[in-house]
Amino acid sequence: MATRSLYLYKPLGGKQPSWRDLLYNPIRCTAILLIVALSLTSIGFLTIQRPWGSELSPNTFSSVPEQSELEFDVEQPEEHEVEVEAEIDEPAPEPDIIDGTVYHSFFAPSADETLADQTVRPIRAHRSLSDECLDKWVSTGRWQDPCRHSMVHESQIDLVYVWVNGSDPLHQKARQGLLMATKYKTKEARFREHDELRYSLRAARNATATWPNSTWHLVTADVAAPTTSDSDRRLGLVPQWLDIECAFYGCPDPETQPPIRLQHDTQLFRLTGRPGATLDAGDATDWLSKILPSFNSHAVESQLPHLDPAIVSDTIVAFNDDQFMLLPLPPSAFHTTLYGPVFRMDPNLLVGGDSSGKADGGGEWRSLGWSAHLLNQRFGTRKRPYMHHNARALSVPLMHEVSLAFGEYFAATPLSQFRGSHKVANEYEVNTIFISTHYVIERHREALLWSWIVAKWGGHAGTLDRDQKKKMWEELGGNGDTLRLEQAERRTFEDVEVNLLMAGLQPPRAVDSQKQGDTTYSWVSMDGYSASFHSLAKRVEMRRDCIGESPEQAWDMFRRVLTSDTGCGDNIIAALIHNDQAGLDVFLPAPSPESPRLSSSDPIILPLELPADAPPLPRNLRAFAVRLLMRYAYVLGDSPTIFMGMKSVRQTERMLTSTDQNKEAALLCINDDLEYNAKQAEAVLKKWFQQRWPQKLSCEL
């Protein structure tokens, strides 16, 4: 058992690569050759022909907390730092068999443990990069000295599945009892399962075989333990085909399959409140009494920000059990340290804010409209694209941050024990995926505007006088009272693969799109902000009124263009992007040799809520701005994707055949929209699953 316990936590740290690993890693070898070539020729920028000869083009187919809550030590990091956590002496899972069904027995957290951690978390991979490296990277958009000789690691990405088996006898009994008590009706398809999880995991094993140190987490429903005197004991649902001891301890051969960690809904529920609010155990007890038991996937997803950072990587790919990876995908298809998480969204399906609560609560649209409304209140009103209903890349530290920023609304979400069941005004459900994704995008836009207006032009004086306003207008390219610019010529996408190779990372594009899923970065935050969520503005037109001429506090101007005059803010960013072909240097305050390094006395983020008065500035404005922009870096990406809504047996057969014929599809979602003949459709589906992924997982019984 001792050796097994040691293995359990090894995926969180992993071994450092040996010289043999480096020598025989083709990506790193390519990067080393590029470095040598660059050194020999002394060329500032390297133009290469991509090894597979295709062009980068799109596929066809997101009160201020107490200062102490925002602090962490910024130290000079060790090179090649990875996510390493202390080993935790966690008890082995305890199977409990009731009427022939296996459950995972556990004790619910205490009221004190149910209070959320209010500390804003750093992103661990960023702490391994020096201020000098990050400054060069963010300002120029090129991975070169002093970063070039400090290879970063392929991102450590965990898979997180949210799963429920609605046919489980105890779950079914508890669900029916609550439905009768509340006189609420819900779709049975929400809880129906067709053994998808087993095959989604088999598909993941094939698709992520090259991912370093990954762990799989199953977040499953749980029920109160029957016939027990201990009211805190609960039973977590377990896939009946899974050997939970094997899953917990990991495979004897770690290359066969990552370890599978079982976690349960009740273990994740944490009470949050408005930023700065003080909550106690009594508040948690009262909250838990209103939300448990929960049969609402929105409620469960709202608690993913509270995944334990000691056992879960900073980056996750969140799955429903009906989502599948059809082809191998490199980590860069979902995340890189350089460019951040890869978001897949539909720019043609826009979600507007809706605070009325009148939209359908049984599906997604009430939660989407409510989440868009909350984003509008914080960052300004606009419509935002829908997230593709498939595998989603998420940053756990940033999800945790958004759960603190909108804490009272995240706490209200589980009040709906079934989707859409709680209809009190201003207590609607948050759509965690949507709000977490767009929060990152909006915070990056906020960081750009703060850096240019407050840090660069306002500085420590904080006031923008007439002369400064004139210079700001000239820097934007204004002439007289108007500014007109054609589309900027940026070389970002020409640099993406070179930068990744120089950092020792495998690019997301496929050499053979039938053997590896092909992913295109259609937008990267290194190009600022896109109001269309797709491409640079073709033309920038603005009036001087946007900047104004009268003296103004920098913080007031920043708040204005961030929230109430979003068009002005968008135009400022678009105009500044014309200043250079790569990087974000024009947004940054000038470097100062006298500026001290960031330390624990400096915040790591801007306030969660936007105050009327400017908060204290960090001592090193440029270093703070650089790390702020890096924290919220992101990519909008595209991969060949299939969404399949099962409506009938024949339609299911046709779409599965079509999926087999589409050799380049990388991601698949099979949504259960069946109203009739569910058993017949399930038989068709299971036959297809078995033919597509016949090889068992090592922990399958």
Asked, for residue 200, whether it belongs to a domain, the answer is: yes
In angstroms, the Cα distances linking 124 to 195, 270, 667 are 36, 23, 28
Domain that includes residue 132, residue range: 75-84+93-442
The percent of residues in the chain predicted with pLDDT above 90, rounded, is: 71
Listed in order, strand segments (DSSP E) in 196-327 are: 216-220, 222-224, 233-237, 260-264, 315-320, 323-325
Residue 643 has pLDDT above 90, yes or no: yes
231 lies in some domain: yes
How confident is the model at residue 253, as a pLDDT?
Answer: 63
- Of the candidates 264, 164, 154, which has an alpha carbon nearest to the alpha carbon of residue 209? 154
Q: Is the pLDDT of residue 152 over 80?
A: yes
pLDDT at res. 90? 62
Same domain, 625 and 683: no
Q: What is the CA radius of gyration of the chain?
A: 25
**Residue 356 forms part of a structural domain:** yes
What mean pLDDT comes out for the span 130-143? 95
- How would you label 337-356 residue by residue, b for 16+ Cβ within 10 Å and e otherwise? bbbbbbbbbebeeebebbee
What is the pLDDT averaged over residues 439-459? 97
Q: Is 14 a member of any domain?
A: no
Whether 493 and 552 map to the same domain: the answer is yes
Instruction: Decide if 70 contacts 604 (C-beta within 8 A).
Output: yes
Residue 35 predicted with pLDDT over 90: no
Q: What is the tens place of the pLDDT at every residue in 206-257?
A: 999 999 999 999 999 999 988 766 778 899 999 999 998 887 776 656 567 8
| Whether 620 and 684 share a structural domain | no
- For residues 449 and 563, membership in a common domain is answered with yes
Distance CA 400, CA 121 (A): 8
Pairing between β-strand 323-325 and β-strand 667-672 as defined by DSSP bridges: antiparallel
Of 589, 605, 636, the one marking the end of a domain is 636
8 assigned to some structural domain = no
Look at residues 423, 442, 461 and tell me which one is the last residue of a structural domain: 442
Where do we find the tokens 């014929």?
661
Residues 571 and 491 in one domain: yes
Mean of pLDDT values over 258-287: 95
Number of domains in the chain: 3
* Lowest model confidence (mean pLDDT) among 14-28, 154-168, 350-364, 670-684: 14-28
192 and 341 housed in the same domain? yes
Q: Are residues 586 and 667 in the same domain?
A: no
User: What pLDDT was estimated at residue 254?
Assistant: 59
What is the rounded distance in angstroms from the CA atom of residue 46 to the CA atom of residue 152? 20
Residue 599, pLDDT score = 82
pLDDT in tens, 168-190: 999 999 999 999 999 898 876 56
pLDDT digits (tens, 9 = 90+) for 477-503: 998 899 999 888 999 999 999 999 999
CB-neighbour burial class of residue 287 (10 A; exposed 0-12, middle 13-18, buried 19+): buried
Predicted confidence (pLDDT) per residue in 618-628, tens digit:
999 999 999 99
Q: Is the pTM of this model over 0.75?
A: yes
Cα–Cα–Cα angle for 339, 342, 348, nearest 5°? Answer: 125
* Domain final residue, candidates 384, 409, 442: 442
Distance between CA atoms of residues 457 and 259, nearest Å = 51
How high is the mean pLDDT of the chain? 86
Residues 459 and 416 in one domain: no
pLDDT-derived band at 672, boundaries 50, 70, 90: confident
Which helix H or strand E contains 484, and what residues bound it?
Answer: strand 482-486
* Cα–Cα distance for residue pair 374/364, rounded to 1 Å: 16
Which residues have C-beta within 8 Å of that of residue 176, sequence separation ≥ 6?
none
Strands 157-163 and 315-320: parallel
Q: What is the dihedral of CA 616, 619, 622, 625, to 10 degrees?
A: -40
Q: Is the domain of 403 the same as that of 273? A: yes
Beta carbons of 385 and 351 less than 8 angstroms apart: yes
* Domain membership flag for residue 66: no
Of 94-98, 137-141, 265-269, 371-375, the poorest mean pLDDT is in 94-98
Exposure on the CB side of residue 492, measured as CA atoms within 13 A:
26
Strands 384-387 and 335-336 turn out to be unpaired
Q: Which residue has the higher pLDDT, 354 or 25?
A: 354
Cβ neighbors of 614 (< 8 A, separation 6 or more) are 454, 462, 553, 554, 555
* Structural tokens at position 342: 């890869």
pLDDT at residue 23, rounded to an integer: 40
- Note whether 194 and 336 are same-domain residues: yes
556-572 confidence digits (pLDDT tens): 999 999 999 999 999 99
Residue 100: DSSP 8-state: T
> Do 626 and 662 lie in a common domain?
no
pLDDT at 25 over 70: no
* 614 lies in some domain: yes
In angstroms, how far is the first alpha carbon of the chain from the final one? Answer: 20
Kindly report, residue by residue over 69-128, the tens digit of the pLDDT. 333 334 434 434 445 444 555 666 778 899 999 999 999 999 999 999 999 999 999 988
The stretch 425-429 carries a mean pLDDT of 96
- Six token digits for residue 48: 């290469």
Looking at the domain assignment, is residue 21 inside a domain? Answer: no
- The answer on 459 and 424 residing in a single domain is no
Torsion angle defined by CA atoms of residues 425, 176, 197 and 636, in that order, rounded to the nearest 10 degrees: -10
As a whole number, mean pLDDT of residues 314-339 equals: 97
Cα 485 to Cα 425: distance, rounded to the nearest angstrom: 45
State the burial class of residue 292 (Cβ atoms within 10 Å of its Cβ: 0-12, 13-18, 19+): middle
- pLDDT at 600 (0 to 100): 80
